[in-house]
A and B are shown apart, each in its own frame.
Chain A
Amino acid sequence: MTPHFGLPEFGFLLRGLQWTVLLTLVAFAGGCTAGLAVALLRTCGHKGVEWATRIYIGIFQGTPLLLQLFVVYYGLALTGLKLDAFVAVAIGFTVNASAFLGEIWRGAIEAVPRGQTEAAMALGLHYSSRMRDIVLPQAIRISLPATIGYLVQLIKGTSLAAIVGFIELARAGQIVSNQTFQPLLVFGVVGAMYFILCWPLSWWGSRMEARLALASQR
């Protein structure tokens, strides 16, 4: 007989939600780390390195994420590297996020007025201190709304992981829906879960943006 949507099904969705959150956190943390490296290389002043990073960003922004996940999951398996589904999608999302965050932060780094770097240089500060103490703290503030916006996209984007068989929230919803024949109810709950994750972030992001706009008016 067909089970109705009850507590066990809800628990199954919650576990899917857990995986969605975990995948997002891993991809975002990995993407931030690698993205920072991308942004720094992209603005390092060395023409060859800047071009190489530009191509890297171009490739990952210019091809579908779905394709990138296929390549990591199936492509690497062909070379004999059989990855667990979670590890594979985590790698795929991390690399993709590094390109997008790298480009967001490249823009933010370049938006910090040139005079800041000049003043730091005139004071005898080296590259590492100029970046760590002067440019990045200001660039991060500038990029915060866009970074939060990207995080929201990432949360929703993790549903693509279902394609290689990883059971996150959207895939869990599909499974429960197929079992209960209550798609409206099930996907309604799934949608609400995504919304509860994303909406506060979006709200925080737009508040940041308003505050930054106010600060730059002064």
Chain B
Amino acid sequence: MRKGEKIVLCGPSGSGKSTLIRCINRLEAIEQGSIVVNGHRLDDSIKAIDVVRQDVGMVFQSFNLFPHMTVLQNCMLAPIRARRIGKTEAEATARKYLERVRIGDQAEKYPAQLSGGQQQRVAIARALCMQPKVMLFDEPTSALDPEMVKEVLDTMIGLANDGMTMICVTHEMGFARQVADRVIFMAEGQIIEEGEPEAFFRNPQHARTRQFLGEILAHH
């Protein structure tokens, strides 16, 4: 994967998309093969895992904001604890990214006081505060009410336009068309097909891909 590249991973549930991206920051152990992030090989040593996690930001389907902390505290914790930067600097960074996901005015609230879409945007800002080299998105809009999907996708599109390197597990094919450099289709733990979005959507090579696209695009 190149710097600045945007990859969209799709496929039926249970096909291993989430497992794949969870391996990249070692939330899931690797059985075979190897992963290199920004020149660092990911092995089982705590140091390697540490180095890689500093460079990799992640956004989860279920937000996973820390409920006992305010939005601002959610964003400040990791930079202070893991990057060891000062409180004032951490707050300035947090406010900058909260502004960027257009939620700066909610900084003092607790996650439970926000809508799902707002919570997911906070989660994106929280990951950005660590200034990652690559962002992983694990079905970021799947747990959202339909009317909130757009605000999160818009945030992600903004991030993509700013040149962030991204891997997104998502079924939002409009998003894939708009920002992806490559779309990868997985089923039963295997990569079945990959290609540029235009070719991928217009002319899928494999029957399994066609069947999948047919199923999810039927509703659009």
Q: Are B25 and A122 in contact (CB under 8 A)?
A: yes
Interface segment, one of A47-55, A56-64, A112-120, A197-205? A112-120
Give residues of chain A (16-45) contacting chain B, Cβ–Cβ below 8 Å: none
Sample 23 A-B pairs with CB under 8 A, ordered by A number: A115-B60, A115-B62, A116-B64, A118-B60, A119-B64, A119-B65, A119-B123, A120-B78, A121-B25, A122-B57, A122-B58, A122-B60, A122-B127, A123-B53, A123-B77, A123-B127, A124-B82, A124-B130, A125-B78, A125-B81, A126-B50, A126-B81, A133-B77
For the complex, count residues of A whose C-beta is within 8 A of B: 19
B126 adjacent to A123 (CB under 8 Å): yes
Chain A interfacial positions (CB closer than 8 Å to B) = 113, 115-116, 118-126, 129, 133-134, 137-138, 141, 218
Q: How far is the CA of A218 from the CA of B112 in the complex (A)?
A: 8
A102–B36 Cα distance when bound, in Å, is 40
Quick one: closest A residue to B26, CB to CB? A121
Docked CA distance A133–B54 (Å): 18
Interface residues in chain B, defined as those with a beta carbon under 8 Å from any beta carbon in chain A: 25, 27, 50, 53-54, 56-58, 60, 62, 64-68, 77-78, 81-83, 112, 123, 126-127, 130
Selected from B56, B66, B68, the residue in CB contact (under 8 A) with A122 is B56
Chain A nearest CB from B142 CB (Å) reads 14
Instruction: Report whether B53 and A121 are in contact in the complex, using a CB–CB cutoff of 8 Å.
Output: yes
Q: Which 5 pairs of residues, A with B, have the shortest CB-CB distance?
A: A119-B64, A123-B78, A124-B82, A122-B58, A115-B64
